[in-house]
């Protein structure tokens, strides 16, 4: 039976892998939404695509909104952060399971990893939202 440290590492690994996937999908969706809506509004403005003017205006605003959301929440950077965390957790798991590194040493490295990764997490950037007067 696996010990508590192995279970904790495995649980963290699954959690970070799930969040890495989530953040990657959101980042890609935002990017493609921005590209597609930009193209649609350009085609509407050029008269190539017929749609009501209000719809063209709505499509034209979406790329700006996408940029603000992406710059604020940094989904790509968060996805990369989770990927790095997963790589480090896999290394800890292998050291503990395959290399016979002691639980005490692995626990110390795990603690240091948590502290270091907490410092590296991409913070929210509310500067894109403007400042209140």
What are the distances in angstroms from CA 78 to CA 10, 48, 84, 102, 117? 20, 38, 10, 31, 11
Residue-level pLDDT at 130: 65
- pLDDT at residue 133, rounded to an integer: 46
pLDDT value of residue 104: 95
Structure tokens at 46: 């050029």
Q: Cβ(59)–Cβ(37) under 8 Å?
A: yes
Note the pTM of the prediction, 2 decimals: 0.84
Sorted by where each begins, the domain ranges of the chain are: 4-123
pLDDT at 131: 61
Q: What is the pLDDT of residue 129?
A: 67
pLDDT digits (tens, 9 = 90+) for 99-112: 999 999 999 999 99
């Amino acid at each position: 039976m696996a010990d508590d440290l192995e279970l904790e590492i495995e649980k963290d690994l699954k959690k970070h892998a799930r969040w890495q996937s989530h953040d990657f999908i959101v980042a890609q969706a935002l990017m493609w939404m921005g590209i597609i809506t930009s193209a649609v509004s350009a085609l509407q403005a050029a008269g190539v695509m017929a749609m009501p003017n209000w719809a063209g205006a709505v499509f034209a605003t979406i790329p700006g909104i996408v940029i603000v959301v992406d710059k604020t929440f940094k989904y790509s950077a968060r996805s990369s952060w989770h990927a790095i965390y997963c790589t480090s957790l896999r290394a800890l798991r292998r050291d503990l399971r395959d290399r016979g590194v002691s639980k005490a040493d692995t626990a110390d490295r795990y603690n240091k990893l948590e502290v270091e990764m907490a410092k590296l997490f991409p913070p929210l950037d509310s500067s894109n939202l403007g400042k209140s007067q």
